[in-house]
Chains A and B, each alone.
Chain A
């Protein structure tokens, strides 16, 4: 890319900036792990990372391929049994931020990670819920990060695995979920935030070099923009160096020769 960084790097950096130092973050599988660890090695050294497999306060030097690599338990403050993670730490109300990926998302930030098509005869069987439904219900608030494509940002989910704002307005509050729900959706094109009243996702910050048309094309519903959306601050040299260094170390540890396809 001519700007000196890729769209995926911009996504990771933009998501990492949303994690405040000292917060307790429950890290979901996939892209959230990159952003959460980037935050920890840049502006948020006191960020506490909790993984569903059991590590609390993990400080991995390389990104885990799975959600339970040895690197996580070796660098954690403590490792607890998985039932304890969900019972005492998540349901007990000790998580500030739940950080999730998604296969499909709708305009009210509900997530599908179960099936494409009919549940009984799916066109594509996805991995399933994992920890997401209760993370999104119980964490103080939720961040979501995923690539921005028309296949992912859909008008209607085939299956609601994990609740964001259901059908908008005060539907989430009426459901009685303890956490406030998603506050940001970070993609490789932009950042979306829920409208305070309708809870519909609105584009509030556009990544440098991205046009509004591209965001519209990549969104399966007529996406709304804030009156004056910001332009996301490009990655700083320090952020980029930290991210690339982390990914280089990770690729080496996982046996890549630089490429990396996970």
Chain B
């Protein structure tokens, strides 16, 4: 049953050191505010899962929160590398990072399997690729009907899934639209879930086929306006592409990264304070 609560309370109540978390979002609706709160609360030894780890995972890794990364594409899209991710893999800074590496098709299927209560997913994939050589999460099996060789991949069952959505109602039913990625699957695959939302409304006005998470599959709903920035929330604000580019310089150097995070994330109480401190604004949708 969803509880409508503050983000700091939700994170301190549900996220423990050593847990596996999926902060999902495919470019759109990335739960940046929740990632910052995990950093503020100093969580450690986390396994973090995501198809497209971007800036918020770069920050979690660089701040030493992460022991293991399960992922399929780790970059700053259209800009270049995630420097903190690279520094952790290439140089072990701030400490070594274990990788469980997959393809998008694998990880998407693995969330579906997790949401379906299955131990693994089946897909036509990986044949000839070097990826199955690293880690034991990718195996091959024969179809019992046709004899075709198919890939079997271990399902994803995070302790906590964390997503951002446009709206929730007062009972905690959650509505999201636009590019919805694998968020619904991640929430249904996880034991608990935290959903940050742009706003709480009386009536969602959802159409029958809308991507809606009923309140009884969501653990906590936290109103955090702007909580996806620099990602975007369709209907509220655009992707802050300027910030994605600026991140390249901020994150390239260890000291500059640390100083920036200490000033703007550790040095602020919440996401609104962070946005003010870093001089960031939500780009309005009309402004193009």
Contacts and interface: CB of A to CB of B under 8 A. Distances in A.
Contacts of A130: 52, 72-73, 103-104
A251 to B, nearest CB: 11
A65 B79 contact: yes
Interface stretch (A120-128, A200-208, A228-236): A120-128
Interface in B88-108: 89-90, 101-105, 108
A159 B103 CA distance: 14
Contacts of B74: 127-128
A87 B241 contact: no
B104 A70 contact: no
A137 B124 contact: yes
B77 A175 contact: no
Contacts of A65: 77-79, 239, 241, 244
A52 B27 CA distance: 11
B173 to A, nearest CB: 18
A161 B90 contact: no
Contact of A54 (B77, B90, B179, B232): B179
A86 B78 contact: no
B217 interface: no
Contacts of A62: 288
A134 B127 CA distance: 9
B137 interface: no
A132 interface: yes
Query: Secondary structure of the A side of the interface?
Result: loop
A163 B129 contact: yes
B209 to A, nearest CB: 11
Contacts of A178: 124
A171 B125 CA distance: 16
Contact of A163 (B127, B239, B285): B127
A262 interface: yes
Given A70-B232, A87-B112, A134 B105 contact: yes
A83 B108 contact: yes
Interface string A60-81: 0010111111101110000101
Interface string B132-145: 00100000000000
- Which 10 pairs show the lowest CB-CB distances between chains A and B? A68-B27, A127-B75, A66-B77, A163-B128, A65-B78, A130-B73, A134-B105, A83-B108, A86-B105, A131-B104
Interface of B: 26-28, 51-52, 71-75, 77-79, 81-82, 85-86, 89-90, 101-105, 108-109, 111-112, 123-131, 134, 148-149, 178-182, 184-185, 211, 232, 234, 238-239, 241-242, 244-245, 285, 288
6 contacts: A82-B181, A129-B102, A131-B104, A132-B103, A161-B130, A252-B288
Interface of A: 29-30, 52-55, 62, 64-70, 72-74, 79, 81-83, 85-87, 90-91, 114, 119, 122-125, 127-134, 137-138, 159-163, 166, 172, 175-178, 252-255, 261-262
